[in-house]
Amino acid sequence: MLVKSNLLISNSTDLLDVNQNDFRVIEYLIDETYFPELLQRKFENEKNHRMIYDAFTDLEMIYYFVHQIKDIQKSKQRKESTKIEYIRELLQFYRYLLKSEEFLRKDVDSYIEESLLKNLKQRHIESYQQWLSNYQYGSKMQQYRVTTLSRKLVILKSFFKFLFDSNYVQVPLFTRILNAKITKDDLPNRDLEESEVKSLLNFYRGNILITTLIKLLATTGMRIRELAEANWGNVSKDTNGYWLEIVGKGNKKREVKLLNHVFIDLCKLRSRRGFTNSISKTDINPFFPNKLNKHYSFKYLSKYVIEIIKASELQFVLDHNRTNNISPHFFRHHYACRSIEKGASIYQVSRSLGHESIQTTEIYLAKMMNRSQHASNVWDDEEY
């Protein structure tokens, strides 16, 4: 049973009982209600010359790490979706520790009660990483892709650095977290040719919702979440056309250009749903509204894109070389490749996509760049 008391989490084992639904645990840990209480306890510890995190439980440290204030501006704090992702990954790790508790007791000298984290040594971190790399999940018993492993290890490394910097653990375990470097060969095939996008638009001709959605993704490079959460008040116009300011990863703002014909289609869709298309900075209505005239859930919208592409049963969709669904992220790759083909520099593309590093953009473009720079291109077609 989940019990909230003056101590946020007094019994880790009860909270993470094997029969406990993960959704309920996440719901519990995502609740910010008790963060001020932990802050107060932290201040009291410092005031009374105790260790700052004295008497904190392991799960309270997870909770504090997830909700900690990293920037004075509220708009730059972690989004709830990011916090949920952190909680999921750290819960997976902590459940692993709970299952290994009996082993830890025998393996560690001077075992510290009431905490699993404080008993960990470098060998235990290495064992977990080995387990993670071999773990199989789902009905197909798949192993994690390197992209998934990379995300998990980055979160874990950050958490253990926080524990060490906070003096909650005395061993710099974060130094034993391996890297999972992502290369172009690790990424799934996300090629989406211009002809394929046009065939989708032709297939759904007359359906203004679907065609506008596809055009917005293909011509702006927006992430599906950025599109779903955008407000109409973030649209502006200058001599170069229409622009939309969006909030990307890390709460970083950037602008995407709305091609005139795409903007016209969007306005038609909005008019059908009863919205004005007058540009106003104070308009907080959704940029791309659903039937209820509210923002789409980005997860729903992502699933919707996957389903409409699959339902088209076009030849490129049924291609046996495609082992996964064509998701909204394919359109970001499409935008990057087509922009380069039309003369944009890789730096311009990187900024337009909101990438922190140009190396990420290079991974998007690797296949296309390899072909354009291939030595065979100097050969004459009439050779031999």
Q: For residue 354, give both structure tokens.
A: 């909101």
- pLDDT the model gives residue 248: 86
- Are 209 and 217 spatial neighbours (Cβ–Cβ below 8 Å)? no
Question: For residues 260 and 118, what is the distance between their CA atoms, to the nearest angstrom?
Answer: 59
| Residue ranges in the chain whose pLDDT is less than 50 | 1-7, 10-11, 18, 186
Say what angle helices 298-312 and 194-203 make with each other, to 10 degrees: 90
- In this prediction, residue 18 carries a pLDDT of 47
Query: Quick one: pLDDT at residue 4?
Result: 42
- Per-residue pLDDT at 341: 83
pLDDT of residue 373: 56
Chain mean position to CA 335: 19
Nearest Cα neighbor of 366 from 150, 189, 147, 181 is 189
Query: What whole-number distance in Å separates Cα of residue 245 and Cα of residue 268?
Result: 21
pLDDT digits (tens, 9 = 90+) for 33-61: 889 999 999 999 999 999 999 999 999 99
Whether this prediction's pTM lies above 0.75 is answered by no
Q: What is the pLDDT of residue 361?
A: 75
Bridge partners of 235, per DSSP, are: 244
Q: Please identify which residue in the block is written with the tokens 């970083």.
A: 252
CA distance 272 to 157: 49
Mean per-residue pLDDT over the chain, rounded? 85
State the Cα–Cα distance between residues 242 and 26, nearest whole angstrom. 40
